[in-house]
Amino acid sequence: MTKRILRFAPSPTGYLHVGNIRTALFNYLQAKKVGGEFILRLDDTDKERSTQNFIDQIKRDLEWLGINWDKIEQQSLRIDRYREVLTELKDKNLVYECFETALDLELKRKKQQNLGLPPIYDRSALKLKLEERNILRDKTESHWRFLLSGETVTWEDKIAGEIKVRTSVVSDPILVKGNGQFLYTLASVIDDADFGVTDVVRGIDHLTNTAVQIEIFKNLSSHAPIFGHHSLIVDSSGENFSKRSGSLSIKSLKEVGIEPRAIVSKLVSLGTGDGVDVDKNIDELAQNFELSKFNNAPVRFDKEALEVLNKDIYEVNFISESQKFISVKFLKKEITQEDFEPLKKLSNHIVYLKFAGSSLKKNLFDNLENFNNLVRLDLKNNPFDDEDLSKLLSLENLEVINLIGTSITEKSIETFNEFKNLKRVYLWKTKISQSDIESFNQQQNKVELVGAVIN
Ligand code: GLU
């Protein structure tokens, strides 16, 4: 079976916002789920609007959210390749040279509007004779358009179902601008073909582009990828997000203390019937990811809901101080010394501490050392070592340790029996050697190892 290759292709002309990240996640999670490849492609052929600053911020934002790419590509470095393909299209008479200025086109559109006609380019440049073109070329910059077939393009969309677009109702797209800039339409097709992209998920606003691009793929004798077009998200006033609106940029959400986990889990549930599950990390979300769960009706994204969700993650969420048993969840990405302060007040309670997907710094095990009312510790996915474990030996009430998604050594297993009251250790998805488990099982143990898979 061919390897699935997906990509996220932002233009570095602004900061990424939650809408862009939703697209990134659709592609990233699908790639992860099928063990495919995920490419970050920077669509930076617009030299005036693309900046290094935006490129750097895009990379920072994605990394912060846990969206990691296997390969990075940059369109501005592939212009020679685009020129080569343009020549191929010229040789096949599939592109034609046009000389209208922006103002000419605007006037044409107005005229069509007044006559009640659809604003489609009238192809007048196709009628120009060779001499006329030579004269015009001396006077003005020329741009190139792709000659659409006018036929109906049909595809089975992974989200929107069967789609049919008649290209006779679409203007022949400009592939190269007067200043020589290659536009997204052609550059994207060449890249998707050259990089072997198998699946493209993007916003429903790209439907017409997709029809046009499928025609170009065919003419270049390349296979078009499988497409899925997701709905767009709107803000609380019903407006579309734009890079320029800024308020829900990832950068600004990070600055006001929103946790990456809140953003990712919210975006993954939006538009499905599923509730938000902040307990799952990005790999677990990938395992459950189904494109077919999403529908293509616009969905509202409101910042307040994100803030509420964030509290669940950010704050040490005591169920109630008056309760005897308290469960404390830490889902923050980075845990600091300060986060442990409130725990000091809990000296009369029975406590269950849960660290799911946070990153525990080494010294934080020191904070647990004297936390004698701890009964259950959940380290899910957080690395620890033998030294960390031995720090917990003084905890007389510790009964359960959950080590799902971590890895343990033979020494750690032996330490389990030294705990005063430890009864159970959960080991699902824990990396552990078979011989270690076997030798543990042969001993007289006070502790039960649950969920260890012996291959
Ligand atoms: N640069 C394009 C955009 O941001 C990419 C669209 C696509 O995924 O093909 O809209």
Q: What pLDDT shows up at residue 345?
A: 74
Q: Which amino acid is at 380?
A: K
Confidence of residue 95 (pLDDT cuts 50, 70, 90): very high
* 364-410 pLDDT per residue, tens: 788 888 888 888 898 888 888 888 899 999 999 899 899 888 888 88
What is the rounded distance in angstroms from the CA atom of residue 305 to the CA atom of residue 393?
Answer: 41
Nearest-atom number in ligand 1 for the CA of 209 is 9
Per-residue b/e over 414-453, b at no fewer than 16 CB within 10 Å?
A: ebbeebeebebbbbebbebeeebbeebeeeeeebebeebe
Distance 256 CA to ligand 1 centre (A): 28
Which has more confidence, 343 or 155?
Answer: 155
Please provide residue 431's backbone torsions phi and psi, each rounded to the nearest 5 degrees: -80, 125
Confidence of residue 342 (pLDDT cuts 50, 70, 90): confident
Strands 174-176 and 143-146: antiparallel
Q: What pLDDT shows up at residue 358?
A: 67
> Across residues 350-377, what is the average pLDDT?
78
Residue reference for tokens 């212009």: 79
Q: What pLDDT shows up at residue 316?
A: 56
> Within 10 A of 379 (CB to CB), how many other CB atoms are there?
23
- Asked whether residue 340 carries a pLDDT value surpassing 90, the answer given is no
What whole-number percentage of the chain has pLDDT above 90?
58
Which has more confidence, 362 or 158?
Answer: 158
Q: What pLDDT shows up at residue 379?
A: 87
Please provide residue 181's backbone torsions phi and psi, each rounded to the nearest 5 degrees: -75, 125
Q: Which residues line ligand 1 (CB under 6 A)?
A: 9-11, 43, 184, 188, 200, 202, 206
Give the chain's mean pLDDT: 89
Distance 360 CA to ligand 1 centre (A): 37
Q: What pLDDT shows up at residue 361?
A: 65
Residue 247: closest CA among 11, 14, 17, 13:
17
What is the rounded distance in angstroms from the CA atom of residue 179 to the CA atom of residue 174?
Answer: 12
What is the rounded distance in angstroms from the CA atom of residue 163 to the CA atom of residue 157?
Answer: 7
Q: Provide the H-helix boundaries in 34-76.
A: 52-65
Confidence of residue 169 (pLDDT cuts 50, 70, 90): very high
Strands 299-300 and 233-234: parallel
Nearest-atom number in ligand 1 for the CA of 205 is 10
- CA 89 to each of CA 82, 146, 178, 219: distance values in angstroms, whole numbers, following the listed order: 11, 8, 17, 8
Confidence of residue 455 (pLDDT cuts 50, 70, 90): very low
Distance 242 CA to ligand 1 centre (A): 13
Residue 7: closest CA among 51, 71, 85, 79:
71
What is the rounded distance in angstroms from the CA atom of residue 356 to the CA atom of residue 340?
Answer: 15
- Asked whether residue 161 carries a pLDDT value surpassing 90, the answer given is yes
What is the rounded distance in angstroms from the CA atom of residue 105 to the CA atom of residue 108?
Answer: 5
Which has more confidence, 116 or 323?
Answer: 116
Residue 381: closest CA among 363, 411, 354, 400:
354
Which has more confidence, 308 or 124?
Answer: 124
* 317-335 pLDDT per residue, tens: 555 555 566 777 777 777 7
**Which residue's CA is the nearest one to ligand 1's atom 3?**
10
Could you tell me the pTM of the whole model? Answer: 0.79
Q: What pLDDT shows up at residue 123?
A: 97
Q: Which stretch of 123-127, 247-251, 267-271 has the lowest confidence by average pLDDT?
A: 247-251
- Asked whether residue 17 carries a pLDDT value surpassing 70, the answer given is yes
> For a pocket test of ligand 1, which of 41, 206, 210 has the largest count of ligand atoms closer than 8 A to its C-beta?
206
